[in-house]
């Protein structure tokens, strides 16, 4: 009679446990945005500079030396490498969950049953060995193996393992992205430092000319050819340029320390040759096609692996709604007296049990976990699209920047030559009283500003070749 009640009840509970699982959708999608066939008006090229090893792309030996030191000592990179180790351990943990767990169990204890209980009354009249009644205080010694195994019927553990593998691959791509940024940052600060060195040289050359001009004005004042106002104006210009020199020196110090920080070391001088700034730059940048960003950029592949991990997490969250099937077993030696512990087969003890556990009440926590996994997957999908869009925009901006900077460079050189001639002309005219001292001051100040701007344009051209290399996915191979 009891079996007629229990079996249908158990089946009914199982049906209730499984009834709500069919509505859990794990196939998610968002509107896709097609990647353009080219970068704006740029012509597609067969290859991409991203495929060039960074040791070949950056030819300066002093810069490569700094990059090598950064790869070894940079703190952010070391942290990224540790995240890889954490992810690798997570994969091992997920692999272990698929296998049976076996433990060695060595234990000793003592039990006493109440005399007026079924166990106590039975023990009082039972011989544990011939002629010996079961002791009232019953010792218990055990040496053996215990095992438990969750049978992965619904794929929950396998999906958790796949998710761990995807996170592991994502951590590798994340580390590659750190390397790419690190290489680019070292190069950027290095060329900024070279630009500052050249600016400092121009400022100091200007200081010499301004000091010479001031000395001439002082002599002319003593000769009565000019007045004190002109002397004060030339002094003010000289002081302004001296202030500019000190500010540039401070910028040099800070830029050096930025490089040292990337290299994971305390402040020290950075070895460099300032003339490297003016070495020839590539006239043509091979950008490839936009679809190559999917393979070249580590952050894009990182986002892709995050999607894969979120898919497996969602499937595992769904599998949690289904019953768990667990098998437990034990085998060992058990006795009330150590003398009898290893007397086989009398002291051998074993057990085997299979249990099916299905969630019935308080399924809200499972639903919350499933909804969280669902939202995480959608977030990962949107982040993937955002990463691709950002990569495309970065490349398009840099390609346009490179073209415009080439034209600006030509115009700036022309402007610098014109203003240089203007300074020479103003000095000659001033000597013959055909130009005022204000015209000389303006010409000198304009020439200084133009030369500094020319250095800045050349620096920006250098930085654009670095930024386009990073934007295309270079710098980590």
Q: What is the mean pLDDT of residues 249-272?
A: 97
Please tell me whether residue 216 adopts helix, strand or coil conformation. helix
Give dist(CA 186, CA 188) in Å, integer.
6
pLDDT at 377 over 90: yes
Mark out the alpha helices in 20-74 (DSSP H runs). 54-57, 61-73
Q: What is the mean pLDDT of residues 142-162?
A: 95
State the distance between the two ends of the chain, measured CA to CA, in whole angstroms: 73
Q: What is the mean pLDDT of residues 399-417?
A: 93
pLDDT band at residue 11 under the 50/70/90 scheme: low
Q: What is the mean pLDDT of residues 187-202?
A: 97
Give dist(CA 234, CA 188) in Å, integer.
37
Task: List, for residues 347-366, the tens digit of each pLDDT value.
Answer: 999 999 999 988 887 788 99
DSSP 389-439: HHHHHHHHHHHHHHHHHHHHHHHHHHHHHHHHHHHHHHHHHHHTTSS-HHH
Listed residue (448, 447, 440) closest to 213, CA to CA: 440
Q: At what angle do helices 437-471 and 364-431 cross, to 10 degrees?
A: 150
* 325 half-sphere exposure, CB direction, 13 A CA radius: 6
Please tell me whether residue 125 adopts helix, strand or coil conformation. coil
Percent of the chain with pLDDT over 70: 94
Give the 3-state secondary structure of 427-467. Answer: HHHHHCCCCCHHHHHHHHHHHHHHHHHHHHHHHHHHHHHHH
Q: What is the mean pLDDT of residues 182-188?
A: 97
pLDDT at 14 over 60: no
3-state class percentages of the chain: helix first, strand second, coil last, to nearest 5 = 65, 10, 25
Percent of the chain with pLDDT over 90: 66
Mark out the alpha helices in 223-326 (DSSP H runs). 228-262, 293-296, 298-319
pLDDT at 126 over 80: yes
**Widest pairwise Cα distance in the chain:** 139
Please tell me whether residue 333 adopts helix, strand or coil conformation. strand
* 82 half-sphere exposure, CB direction, 13 A CA radius: 6
The answer to whether 468 and 398 are in contact (CB under 8 A) is yes
pLDDT at 191 over 50: yes
Strand partners, 110: 139
pLDDT at 424 over 90: no
306-315, 319-328, 349-358, 439-448 — which is least confidently predicted? Answer: 439-448
Strand partners, 127: 133
Strands 137-151 and 132-133: unpaired
- Angle (CA) 15-20-21 rounded to 5° is 95
Strand partners, 107: 142
Give dist(CA 475, CA 301) in Å, integer.
15
pLDDT at 1 over 50: no
Residue-level pLDDT at 438: 82
Mean of the per-residue pLDDT values for the chain? 90
Residue-level pLDDT at 452: 95
Residue 182 has what DSSP assignment? H
Residue-level pLDDT at 2: 46
Q: What is the dihedral of CA 71, 75, 77, 80, to 10 degrees?
A: 160
Residue-level pLDDT at 136: 85
Give dist(CA 36, CA 379) in Å, integer.
23
Residue that wins the pLDDT comparison between 362 and 215: 215
Give dist(CA 440, CA 234) in Å, integer.
9
The answer to whether 91 and 130 are in contact (CB under 8 A) is no
Please tell me whether residue 282 adopts helix, strand or coil conformation. coil
Q: What is the mean pLDDT of residues 233-239?
A: 93
């Amino acid at each position: 009679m009891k079996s007629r009640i229990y079996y249908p009840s158990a089946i009914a509970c199982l049906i209730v446990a499984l009834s709500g699982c069919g509505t859990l959708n794990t196939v998610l999608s968002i509107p896709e945005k097609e990647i353009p066939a080219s970068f704006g008006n740029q012509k597609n090229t067969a290859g991409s500079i991203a495929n060039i090893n960074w040791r070949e792309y950056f030819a300066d030996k002093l810069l490569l030396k700094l990059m090598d030191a950064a790869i070894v000592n940079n703190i952010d990179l070391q942290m990224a490498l540790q995240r890889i180790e954490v992810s690798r351990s997570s994969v091992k943990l997920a692999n272990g969950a698929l296998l049976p767990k076996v433990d060695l169990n060595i234990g000793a204890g003592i039990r006493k049953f109440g005399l007026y209980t079924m166990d106590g009354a039975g023990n009082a009249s039972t011989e544990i060995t011939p002629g010996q009644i079961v002791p009232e205080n019953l010792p218990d010694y055990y040496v053996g193996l215990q095992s438990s195994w969750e049978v992965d019927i619904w794929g929950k553990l396998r999906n958790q393992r796949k998710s761990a593998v995807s996170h592991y691959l994502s951590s590798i791509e994340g580390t590659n992205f750190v390397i790419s940024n690190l290489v680019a940052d070292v190069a950027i600060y290095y060329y900024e430092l070279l630009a500052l060195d050249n600016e400092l040289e121009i400022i100091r050359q200007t200081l010499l000319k301004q000091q010479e001009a001031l000395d001439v004005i002082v002599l002319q004042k003593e000769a009565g050819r000019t007045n004190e106002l002109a002397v004060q104006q030339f002094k003010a210009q000289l002081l302004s340029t001296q202030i500019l020199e000190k500010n540039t020196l401070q910028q040099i110090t800070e830029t050096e320390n930025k490089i040292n920080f990337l290299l994971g070391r305390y402040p020290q001088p950075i070895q460099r040759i300032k003339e490297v700034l003016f070495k020839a730059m590539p006239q043509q940048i091979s950008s490839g096609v936009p679809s190559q960003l999917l393979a070249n950029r580590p952050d894009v592949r990182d986002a892709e692996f995050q999607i894969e991990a979120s898919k497996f997490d969602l499937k595992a969250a769904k599998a949690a709604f289904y019953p768990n099937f667990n098998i437990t077993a034990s085998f060992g030696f058990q006795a009330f007296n150590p003398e009898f512990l290893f007397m086989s087969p009398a002291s051998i003890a074993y057990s085997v049990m299979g249990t099916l556990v299905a969630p019935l009440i308080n399924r809200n926590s499972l639903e919350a976990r499933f909804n969280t996994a669902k939202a995480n997957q959608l977030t990962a999908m949107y982040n993937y699209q955002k990463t691709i869009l950002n990569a495309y925009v970065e490349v398009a901006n840099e390609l346009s920047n490179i073209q415009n900077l080439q034209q600006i460079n030509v115009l700036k050189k022309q402007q610098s030559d014109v203003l240089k001639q203007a300074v020479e002309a103003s000095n000659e005219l001033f000597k013959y009283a055909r130009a005022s001292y204000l015209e000389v001051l303006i010409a000198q100040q304009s020439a200084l500003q133009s030369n500094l701007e020319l250095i800045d344009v050349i620096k920006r051209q250098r930085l654009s070749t670095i930024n386009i290399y990073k934007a295309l996915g270079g710098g980590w191979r």
